[in-house]
């Protein structure tokens, strides 16, 4: 054990866990990384490219090395940073990206071959022989690449989403964030305080600084207690604000139960969309390292992280108690780590300070003007080489802390592409002044990392933010604090001939940057892409600035001239499941059920998804073994008796107002104004670009009242288009629009016996052809007083009606029609039979009205009235549209029992089948039990003039072709006598 | 994004459906001599500015009003929103 | 009276109700609904004596209530009037206006809390991007909820009505139930 | 310098001393025969083919920032030729054939990887539409397979076959489709063009066109005036902005498209898969990240960043389709600006200004078109005639009524 004294762990709550199958113990309050270090485990993973042995580098979410596969089975979670994985009893973790055991990774051979794997090498080789890239090289690369693995099982956990609103969102609950929260909370503002950690305090948890002369955590505890008592403050721990979106909207993930073995009844995570009037970004800072030769060994870590492990988790980073620890720094901050380690009883070799005028703050050795120039220890650091003025000596150490300075966490401030600004005093980029509107950086995130200045800055940021939204907040009494010394030299890396890592995870070294420079990959984005620098899971948090500094040195430019990179959401990795939260199965999207759905279900109907709707597809009966048998029966029943079909899905829009007729006249291409009350007209709508859009009916219920129907697919779109026309084009017209699709259950009653059936349910309404002819409509009552609407319209070519009743009665009406029609052969039918009936009649549906066709093509050219203007009319007459020669026709296969596949292309017999000889295509096909033949519809060049011609319907995709005869699209009753009788 | 609805205040843009350039309100006169050319321009050509853009949003999951929103396409900052029918009627006067 | 027997939007013969901790959700199958739209140039009428509310507001008086749905448009609610031709009743009140029957266009779910506003507001936070703090009693709006469109009416601090499309009743109930259940602990 | 495995080994053994810049950083000359505006994939490919195939020697490419900083640097790297309409499919198939020879042509490994694309089918109507499309692909030799549900289960068993709102009923596959390393395409063309004498000039923003008597004479740039006999503009995403400097309006809106990459994972997804009932398409990069995207945000934008609703929409689709990706993490998202045209198809044409040529309107499908777009644009610039596969990409097709509308949604760019 390498535990020290103190810390914020609960020693009375020991927890068992395993790493690579070996059992260990940790404590409540530990992360996986601190617990492993506490057990003397330094080796935690392997690097991406060279498979170098790696240990933990950081203590937070920026960790590039210590990544594990957490949990097992379907909950296996790859690439989890051990530094943020809260320890729970029974946790299991495995290191990843190695073949064989972690300490003897077979792929470590890559490290020996590293000279061949220099930056950009992929692009220069693997090109010969040509076929080998995909067959050999790439599969090998793919297998070796990647990090952790997925279980390939569906994620078993639940995820939630939600929306929060506040006056002030505070990102980060360290010194600045807590001061801001107290200030705003006391002012009565609605505050959300979010922190990715499971406890409040931020860096205060990891430092030994006193507040008001006492342990800083005492102040944190009192601040927490006060904030929890304020009803206007919501504290959200384990919550990462990962992205800044427009107008003060933030994406945040709350890890509700990742700290538990299983979520139980809870969701695993919640995605919050937070709308904040103002935001204080108090996200702290991230420490950077200093590249030097072989600086990537387990045991080499950031000095600030080392301090956090010592102070917060009471662990020493060495494998064995008594091993010495050294610090390599370019500034005062490294000395703090030495002091804290000593205070906790660790053995410190000394501080290697690159500055000649290195200070000394306590009783430890200072190697002034010195650098670390080498390390030893394959699986864990054993010694370091310290060099001063060219003279080197080796020292035995078990760990080395590296302090290269701190980078403000400017990420969220840069999500709107505001570029961070270089600050020469801080030697760091600070947030851009033109960052997201309403977002104010504070504390270390603003470059004010001293505890005292962070507290003050947080308070001031809150006051400023609130004053902008008219909330007066007063200064609060802040605890007395100090700013620790933070002098620093612009010392970026230790020059040398050996490899010095800049990006640990992706194995990018100083040499790689030099090579990129040599090859003219100088713009920082080229550097990144050529070397993969900053593309690892830490998104360059620990590497980008060092790399810029090295490139700046090579180009002779300053760091800001060399550039920075754009920060993009998310701040840290966010599980894909929570972003796609909610239902992923049958309720992934809402389901619209027709009024007769439950009835159809009881009949054993098969259902089909039609957009949002579930519709009955067909109603199988006992003894029927194929769907075709069922559909053939349904179709024949309709044509010989009477069929019933729920057509509620068709869109219905109520159009009222003095100008309703004129309005519809402008919406539809054909004349609608001259309709009569009690009559229905078929209507064709065009898009403004002249193409066919939708078809439907207009029923005139009163002088100033129409009921319009649309296709199922376009119901919402047509309603929207009508609102557009009404509000944006012709607001002067007196028109009121409202959808009534759901209000009415509409049932098609179709077939020669439909009139007889309806006669049995209407309350004395005269259904005779004279009183209620084809295309008539009326309000009436049925079944002893139920209000209903009746439309005599037909899409099948048969005598047919559509009857509408309040939706709650649809179920009962269907039952009643079935009962009353039993002796007439009343048969329910679904969408399949519906399709057969309309294909037999040659009516266009979705496959023909697919947005690419014109009225001319559909044989409806005459419906575009030249006597008036309507949407799309002018454009439908353009040269290319007028020249369109394809027409909707019917096809019959010469062999009646061979299906003409929809999607086949049409060719003249004997011609080569190419795109230029293509004559058209088959849009819809079915078996017609009526004609005892397969039939089809399709578009054919000059189709109207080619009746009787035999063509090839080619389906090379499925290796088939057949001969079809061109016929009229009206296979049934082309004269239309049946529907008028 | 949040759309500052002139009646309802700031609303989630997810409640809206976007159409495009507010010039789509100015449908040409079909009886004009060069009507086809005017319609081609109306239907297909766009200013597509990098900067301030007047555009149509439909509050489909709200009060079903069409709005003319003025927005900077380079920053997404919204400078104002009006009811389209008011704009149209005002323009007609 | 017709001899056909209606079913509720959720498909039952009686309205569904379910308790989720502090929240109880009930299918309000008896609610009559009709939309009222002003024609060009009309004054705002007072059907059934209701002062039709302004933007984003709801009012109620006895068995009748109304909420604003758009400029010059309201939905009129009538408790217990689902089985009668409520649209005709309304039309006779306001013959000059456009009235459309909407009783079966929608399904109304009434959510009541036994612990005041907090559970209602917590539920809203999981479902709709409407700030509950600014959506007190007497507020009404339409918004999106799990890919559906709904009207919300804050009938009281501890009561919220969610009115969605009738054909989506099952999906809407599911969404409300899942969210309410997750608030239970 | 020729790149090869041999060269890599030699340099590895001699300390990488022999590598030289991939391209020069030349100062702009006063004038060129042809100036290409835009150092992205299409512009560089145009320059490459102008030099290599059409023998044009005095060519410059002007890039506002760094090479490949536009959409070629940020996309989901999919290459495919699975289009429906005769105006499109031969062109994309021509592009596919160029992809298949790209490495040999440029001597640069752009990692073209034909691991296949599967467009999933969820309804019978969709199957009919895909059959029509698949047959169109067969007609130009692009190859296609109509997969049954059972075949799919064998190939991609991790999809949600049994518990889906929109059941998977099959798929249309193009086996020759796949991905290419987007940056590698930029660099391959840039290096190839540079080696053939093209001046590639970075940090050179075109600020205006010099047009006299209806003829273009050159471009004003942040580095001074550069004369040109012909100017080809290939700045998709910024076409509206750049062509406005020539006084032109276009049948184009600029929209933002977001794309996403997950943290690296061991091999998970073999090829490219697209959801047919939601907005989600995905592949896995050689490095291991799941690269995926969905719909455009849907509003005019030049801001190069998107918003959260689309992020959620994309991942909802992803989770519904393949719920096994849930425990992977999103690493990075980005937003690129797309030239969304009025019919969803591109423009490669002369403008009404003599000598000024336009390559634009690629919507969110420009990456796969890069080689053919470059070739066809070079053909047009060099010969004055459109390449046969790009003959339909005329600017006047809108007014004349010959739109190429694959989706059938009309003149509404955000629906294409």
- Span A744-788, pLDDT tens digits: 999 999 999 999 999 999 999 999 999 999 999 999 999 999 999
Among D241, D252, D303, whose Cβ lies nearest the Cβ of B76?
Answer: D303
Domain range for D36: 24-80+182-253+343-415
Share of chain A above pLDDT 90, in %: 93
Quick check: is A38 in a domain?
no
What CATH number did the domain enclosing B86 receive? 3.30.2270.10
Ranges of beta strands (E only) in chain C are 17-20, 23-27, 32-37, 58-61, 64-70, 73-78, 98-101, 106-113, 140-145, 148-156, 159-165
List chain C domain ranges: 17-182
ipTM surpasses 0.90: yes
Q: What is the pLDDT of residue A134?
A: 84
Q: Residue D209's domain is classified under what CATH number?
A: 3.50.50.60
Name the one residue in this structure whose structure tokens are 């109620």: C60
A846/A965 same-domain check: yes
Residues of chain B short of pLDDT 50, as ranges, are: 93
**How many cross-chain Cβ pairs, A to B, lie less than 8 Å apart?**
68
* Contact residues on chain B for A246, CB-CB shorter than 8 A: 1-2, 76
Q: What is the pLDDT of residues A860-879, one digit of tens each?
A: 999 999 999 999 999 999 99
Classify residue A676: in a domain, yes or no.
yes
Question: Does D251 sit within 8 Å of B45, measured CB to CB?
Answer: yes
A875 interface with B at CB cutoff 8 Å: yes
Say how far apart CA C77 and CA C33 lie, in whole Å. 5
Contact A613 C103 (CB under 8 A): no
Residue D213 lies in a domain: yes
Residue A890 pairs in a beta bridge with A937, A967
**Tokens, residue D8:** 């890599």
Tell me the angle at which helices A175-186 and A451-468 cross, rounded to the nearest 10 degrees.
Answer: 40
Q: Per-residue pLDDT tens for A360-392?
A: 999 999 999 999 999 999 999 999 999 999 999
DSSP category for residue A728? I
Residues of chain A in contact with residue D13, where contact means CB-CB under 8 angstroms, are: 115
pLDDT at site A145: 87
pLDDT for the residue numbered A758: 98
Q: Is residue D269 part of a domain?
A: no
Token reading at D259: 């794309």
- The A736-739 sheet, strands edge to edge: A680-686, A692-702, A705-710, A651-656, A736-739
**Chain D: partners with 3+ C-beta pairs within 8 Å:** A, B
Residue A566 has pLDDT above 80, yes or no: no
**A568 occurs within a structural domain:** no
C131 touches chain B (CB under 8 A): no
List chain D residues with CB under 8 Å of B55: 299-300
Decide if A728 touches B, using CB distance below 8 A: yes
pLDDT digits (tens, 9 = 90+) for A40-59: 999 999 999 999 999 999 99
SS3 call for D397 = helix
A198 and A250 housed in the same domain:
yes
Instruction: Judge whether B56 is closer than 8 Å to chain C, CB to CB.
Output: no
Could you tell me the CA-to-CA distances from D223 to A863, A977, D29, D275 in Å, in that order? 59, 78, 10, 46
Q: Has residue A108 got a pLDDT over 70?
A: yes
Nearest C-alpha of chain A: how many angstroms from D230?
29
Instruction: Report residues of chain D scoring pLDDT below 70.
Output: none
| Residue of C54, C67, C140, C143 to mutate, testing the B interface (most B Cβ within 10 Å of its Cβ) | C143
A248 touches chain B (CB under 8 A): yes
Q: Do A263 and A202 fall within a single domain?
A: yes
Q: Domain residues for A965?
A: 838-868+882-980
Rg (CA), chain A: 38
Domain housing B45 = 2-92
First vs last Cα of chain B: how many Å apart? 33
Give pLDDT, residue A118. Answer: 87
- Reported as a single tens digit per residue, the pLDDT across A497-536 is 999 999 999 999 999 999 999 999 999 999 999 999 999 9
Among A141, A880, A955, the residue with its CB nearest the CB of D135 is A955
Which residues on D lie below 8 Å from B1 (Cβ)? 299, 307
Domain total of chain A: 5
pLDDT of residue C169: 98
Looking at residue B92, its pLDDT comes to: 56
| Residue that the structure tokens 């048998």 belong to | A629
pLDDT at A446 over 60: yes
The subunits that touch chain B, with at least 3 C-beta pairs less than 8 Å apart, are A, C, D
Neighbours, chain C (3 or more CB pairs < 8 A): A, B
pLDDT of residue D1: 83
Q: What is the pLDDT of residue A418?
A: 83
Average pLDDT over residues A165-180: 98
**Is B89 within 8 Å of A878 when comparing Cβ atoms?**
no
**Does A417 share its domain with A460?**
yes
Q: Which residue of D has its CA nearest to A902?
A: D128
Tokens 């031969």 locate to D90
CA distance A163 to chain B (A): 11
Residues A615 and A713: beta-carbon distance below 8 Å? no
pLDDT digits (tens, 9 = 90+) for A224-256: 999 999 999 999 999 999 999 999 999 999 999
- At A143-155, the pLDDT tens digits run 888 899 999 999 9
* 8 Å CB contact of A249 and B89: no
Among all chains, which residue has been given the structure tokens 């059907």? C47
* D window 266-285, beta carbon within 8 A of A: 266-268, 278, 284
Select the residue of D123, D137, D330 nearest A579 (Cβ to Cβ): D330
Q: Is there a domain that residue A523 lies in?
A: no
Give the integer Cα–Cα distance in Å for A538 and A62. Answer: 5
Cα A83 to chain centroid, rounded? 26
* Whether residue A770 sits in one domain with residue A638: yes
Within 11-70 of B, beta carbons closer than 8 Å to A belong to 17, 19, 24-25, 27-28, 30-31, 35-36, 39-40, 42-44, 56, 58, 60, 64-66
- Spatial separation of the C-alpha atoms in residues A475 and A483, rounded to whole Å: 20
Does residue D106 fall inside a structural domain? no
CB contact under 8 A, C40 and A161: no
Domain count, chain B: 1
With cut-offs at 50, 70 and 90, classify the pLDDT of residue A562: very high
Please indicate, yes or no, if residue A154 is contained in any of the structural domains.
Answer: no
In a domain, D283, yes or no: no
Which of B15, B50, B51 best probes binding to D when mutated, by most D CB atoms within 10 angstroms? B50
Residues A273, A321, single domain; the answer is no
Q: How far is D175 from chain B (nearest CA, A)?
A: 36
pLDDT computed for residue A1 by the predictor: 55
The 10s digit of each residue's pLDDT in A708-740 is: 999 999 999 999 999 999 999 999 999 999 999
Partner A, chain D 213-252, Cβ-Cβ below 8 Å: none
Q: Which residue has the tokens 């003219």?
A: A520
Q: Please check whether residue D393 lies inside any domain of the structure.
A: yes
| Higher local confidence (pLDDT), A933 or A975 | A933
Q: How far is B4 from chain D (nearest CA, A)?
A: 16
| D73-87 exposure pattern, b = at least 16 Cβ within 10 A, e = fewer | bbbbbbbbbbbbbbb
The pLDDT averaged over each successive group of 10 residues in chain C (185 residues) is: 95 97 98 98 97 98 98 98 97 98 98 98 98 98 98 98 98 98 88
In a domain, D194, yes or no: yes
Q: Based on the domain organization, do A384 and A431 belong to the same domain? A: no
Looking at A739, A774, A799, the residue that finishes a domain is A739
> Does residue A555 lie within any of the structural domains?
no
Q: Which DSSP category does D44 fall into? A: H
Q: Are residues A690 and A639 in the same domain?
A: no
Reported as type and span, the H/E element at residue A367 is: strand A366-368
- Total domains in the fold of chain D: 1
Tokens 């068992």 — which residue?
A: A16
The architecture in CATH of the region C17-182 reads 2-Layer Sandwich (3.30)
């Amino acid at each position: 054990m390498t535990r020290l004294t103190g810390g914020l762990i609960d020693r009375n709550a020991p927890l068992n866990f395993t790493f690579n199958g070996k059992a260990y113990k940790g404590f409540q309050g530990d992360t996986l990384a601190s617990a492993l270090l506490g057990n003397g485990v330094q080796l935690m993973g392997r690097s991406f490219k060279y498979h170098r042995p790696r240990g933990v580098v950081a203590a937070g979410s920026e960790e590039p090395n210590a990544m594990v596969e957490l949990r097992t089975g379907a909950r296996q979670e790859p690439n989890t940073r051990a530094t943020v994985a809260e320890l729970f009893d029974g946790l299991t973790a495995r290191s990843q990206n190695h073949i064989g055991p972690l300490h003897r990774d077979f792929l470590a051979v890559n490290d020996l071959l590293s000279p061949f794997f220099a930056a950009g090498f992929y692009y220069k080789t693997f090109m010969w022989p040509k076929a080998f890239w995909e067959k050999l090289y790439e599969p090998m690369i793919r297998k070796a690449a990647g990090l952790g693995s997925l279980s390939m099982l569906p994620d078993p956990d639940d995820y939630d989403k939600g929306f929060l609103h506040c006056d002030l969102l505070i990102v980060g609950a360290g010194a600045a964030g807590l001061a801001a929260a107290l200030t705003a909370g006391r002012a009565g503002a609605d505050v959300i305080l979010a922190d990715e950690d499971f406890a409040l305090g931020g860096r205060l948890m990891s430092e030994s600084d006193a507040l008001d002369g006492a342990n800083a955590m005492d102040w944190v505890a009192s601040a927490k207690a006060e904030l929890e008592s304020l009803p206007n403050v919501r504290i959200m721990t384990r919550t990462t604000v990962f992205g800044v979106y427009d107008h003060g909207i933030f994406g945040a993930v709350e890890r509700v139960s990742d700290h538990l073995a299983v979520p139980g009844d809870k969701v695993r995570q919640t995605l919050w969309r937070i709308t904040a009037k103002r935001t204080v970004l108090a996200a702290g800072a991230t420490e950077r390292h200093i590249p030097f030769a072989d600086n990537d060994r387990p045991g080499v870590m950031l000095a600030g992280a080392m301090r956090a492990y010592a102070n917060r988790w009471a662990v020493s980073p060495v494998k064995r108690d008594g091993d010495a620890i050294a610090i390599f720094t370019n500034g005062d901050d490294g000395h703090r780590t030495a002091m804290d380690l000593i205070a906790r009883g660790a053995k410190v070799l000394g501080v290697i300070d690159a500055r000649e005028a290195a200070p000394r703050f306590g009783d430890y050795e200072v190697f002034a003007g010195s650098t670390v120039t080498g390390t030893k220890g394959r699986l864990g650091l054993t010694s370091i080489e310290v060099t001063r003025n060219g003279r080197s000596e080796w020292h035995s150490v078990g760990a080395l802390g590296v302090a290269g300075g701190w980078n403000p966490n400017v990420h969220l401030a840069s999500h709107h592409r505001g570029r961070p600004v270089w600050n020469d005093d801080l030697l760091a980029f600070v947030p851009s002044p033109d960052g997201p509107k309403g977002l104010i950086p504070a504390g270390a995130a603003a470059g004010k990392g001293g505890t005292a200045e962070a507290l003050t800055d947080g308070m001031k940021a809150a006051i400023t933010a609130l004053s902008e939204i008219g909330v007066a907040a007063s200064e609060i009494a802040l605890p007395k604090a100090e700013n620790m010394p933070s002098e620093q030299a612009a010392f970026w890396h230790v020059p040398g001939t050996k490899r010095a890592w800049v990006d640990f995870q992706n194995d990018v070294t100083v040499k790689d940057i030099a090579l990129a420079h040599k090859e003219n990959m100088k713009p920082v984005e080229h550097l990144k892409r050529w070397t993969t620098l900053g593309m690892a899971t830490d998104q360059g948090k620990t590497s980008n600035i060092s790399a810029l500094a090295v490139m700046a040195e090579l180009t002779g430019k300053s760091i800001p001239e060399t550039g920075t990179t754009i920060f993009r959401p998310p701040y840290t990795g966010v599980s894909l499941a929570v972003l796609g939260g909610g239902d992923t199965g049958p309720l992934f999207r809402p389901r619209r059920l027709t009024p007769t759905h439950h009835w159809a279900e009881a009949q054993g109907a098969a259902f089909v998804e039609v957009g949002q709707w579930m519709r009955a597809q067909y109603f199988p009966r006992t003894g029927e073994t194929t769907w075709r048998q069922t559909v053939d029966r349904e179709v024949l029943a309709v044509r010989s008796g009477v069929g019933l079909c729920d057509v509620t899905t068709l869109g219905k829009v109520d159009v009222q107002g003095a100008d309703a007729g004129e309005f519809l006249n402008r919406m539809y291409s054909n004349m609608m104004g001259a309709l009569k009350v009690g009559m229905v007209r078929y209507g064709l709508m065009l898009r403004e670009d002249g193409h066919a859009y939708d078809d439907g009916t207009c029923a005139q219920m009163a002088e100033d009242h129409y009921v319009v129907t649309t296709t199922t697919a376009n119901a919402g779109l047509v309603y929207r288009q009508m609102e557009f026309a009404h509000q944006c084009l012709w607001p002067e017209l007196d028109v009121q629009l409202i959808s009534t699709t759901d209000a009415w259950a509409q049932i098609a009653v179709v077939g020669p016996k439909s009139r007889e059936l309806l006669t049995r349910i209407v309350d004395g309404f005269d259904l005779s052809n004279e009183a209620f002819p084809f295309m008539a409509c009326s309000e009436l009552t049925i079944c002893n007083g139920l209000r209903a609407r009746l439309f005599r319209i037909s899409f099948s070519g048969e005598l047919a009606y559509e009857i509408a009743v309040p939706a709650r009665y649809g179920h009962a009406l269907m039952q009643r029609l079935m009962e009353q029609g039993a002796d007439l052969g009343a048969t329910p039918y679904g969408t399949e039979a519906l399709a057969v009936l309309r294909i037999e009649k040659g009516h266009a549906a979705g496959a023909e009205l697919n947005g690419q066709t014109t009225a001319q093509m559909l044989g409806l050219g005459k419906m575009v009235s030249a006597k008036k203007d309507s949407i799309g009319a002018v454009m439908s007459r353009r040269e290319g549209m007028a020249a369109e020669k394809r027409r909707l026709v019917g096809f019959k296969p010469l062999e009646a029992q061979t299906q003409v596949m929809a999607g086949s292309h049409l060719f003249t017999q004997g011609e080569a089948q190419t795109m230029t000889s293509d004559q058209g295509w088959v849009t819809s096909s079915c078996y017609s039990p009526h004609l005892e033949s397969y039939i089809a519809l399709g578009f054919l060049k000059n189709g109207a003039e080619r009746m009787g011609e035999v063509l090839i319907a080619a389906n090379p995709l499925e290796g088939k072709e057949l001969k079809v005869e061109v016929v009229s699209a009206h296979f049934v009753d082309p004269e239309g006598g049946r529907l008028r009788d | 994004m949040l759309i500052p609805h002139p009646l309802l205040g700031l609303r989630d843009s997810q409640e809206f459906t976007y159409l495009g350039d507010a010039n789509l309100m100015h449908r040409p006169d079909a009886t004009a001599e060069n009507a086809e050319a005017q319609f081609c321009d109306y239907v297909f050509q766009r200013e597509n500015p990098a900067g301030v853009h007047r555009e149509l949003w439909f509050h489909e999951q709200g009060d079903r009003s069409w709005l003319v929103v003025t927005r900077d396409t380079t920053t997404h900052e919204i400078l104002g929103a009006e009811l389209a029918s008011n704009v149209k009627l005002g323009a007609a006067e | 009276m017709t001899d056909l027997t209606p079913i509720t939007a959720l498909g039952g013969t009686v309205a569904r109700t379910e308790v989720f901790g502090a929240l109880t959700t009930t299918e309000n199958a008896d609610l009559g609904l009709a939309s009222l739209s002003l024609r060009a140039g009309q004054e705002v009428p007072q059907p059934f004596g209701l002062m039709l509310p302004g933007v984003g507001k709801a009012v109620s008086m006895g068995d009748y209530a109304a909420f604003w749905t758009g400029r010059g448009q309201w939905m009129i609610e009538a408790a217990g009037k689902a089985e009668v031709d409520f649209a005709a009743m309304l039309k006779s009140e306001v013959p000059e206006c456009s009235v459309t029957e909407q009783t079966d266009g929608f399904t109304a779910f009434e959510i009541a809390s036994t612990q005041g506003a907090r559970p209602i507001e917590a539920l809203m936070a999981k479902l709709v991007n409407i700030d509950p703090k600014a959506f007190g009693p007497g507020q009404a709006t339409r918004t999106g909820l799990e890919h559906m469109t709904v009207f919300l009416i804050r009938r009281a601090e501890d009561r919220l009505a969610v009115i969605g499309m009738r054909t989506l009743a099952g999906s809407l109930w599911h969404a409300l139930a899942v969210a309410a259940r997750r608030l239970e602990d | 310098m020729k790149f090869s495995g041999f060269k890599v080994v030699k340099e590895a053994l001699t300390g990488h001393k022999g590598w030289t810049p991939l391209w020069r950083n030349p100062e702009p000359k006063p004038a060129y025969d042809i100036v290409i505006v835009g150092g992205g994939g299409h512009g560089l490919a145009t320059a490459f083919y102008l030099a290599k195939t059409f023998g044009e020697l005095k060519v410059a490419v002007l890039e506002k920032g760094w090479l490949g900083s536009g959409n070629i640097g940020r996309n989901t790297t999919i290459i495919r030729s699975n289009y429906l309409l005769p105006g499109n499919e031969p062109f994309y198939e021509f592009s596919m054939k160029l992809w298949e020879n790209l490495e040999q042509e440029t001597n640069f490994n752009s990692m073209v990887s034909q691991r296949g694309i599967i467009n999933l089918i969820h309804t019978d109507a969709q199957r009919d539409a895909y059959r029509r499309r698949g047959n169109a692909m067969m007609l130009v030799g692009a190859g296609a397979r109509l997969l049954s549900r059972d075949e799919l289960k064998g190939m991609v068993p991790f999809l949600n076959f049994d518990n889906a709102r929109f059941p998977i009923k099959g798929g249309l596959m193009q086996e020759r489709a796949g991905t290419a390393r987007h940056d590698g395409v930029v660099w391959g063309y840039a290096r190839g063009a540079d080696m053939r004498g093209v001046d590639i000039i970075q940090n050179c923003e075109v600020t205006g066109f010099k047009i006299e008597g209806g003829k273009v004479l050159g471009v004003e740039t942040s580095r001074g005036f550069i004369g040109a006999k012909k100017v080809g503009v290939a700045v998709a995403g910024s076409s509206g902005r750049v062509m406005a400097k020539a006084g032109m309006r276009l049948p184009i809106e600029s929209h933002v498209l977001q794309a996403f990459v997950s943290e690296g994972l061991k091999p998970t997804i073999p090829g490219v898969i697209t959801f047919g009932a939601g907005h989600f398409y995905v592949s896995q990069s050689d490095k291991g990240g799941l690269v995926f995207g969905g719909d455009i945000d849907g509003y005019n934008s030049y801001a190069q960043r998107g918003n959260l609703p689309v992020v959620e929409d994309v991942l909802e689709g992803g989770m519904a389709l393949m719920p096994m990706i849930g425990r992977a993490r999103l690493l990075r998202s980005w937003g690129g600006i797309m030239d969304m045209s009025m019919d969803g198809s591109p423009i490669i044409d002369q403008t009404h200004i003599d000598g000024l040529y336009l390559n634009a309107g690629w919507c969110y499908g420009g990456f796969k078109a890069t080689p053919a777009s470059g070739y066809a644009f070079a053909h047009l610039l060099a010969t004055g005639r459109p390449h046969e596969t790009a003959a339909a990409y005329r600017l006047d097709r809108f007014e004349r009524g010959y739109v190429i509308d694959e989706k059938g949604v009309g003149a509404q760019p955000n629906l294409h």
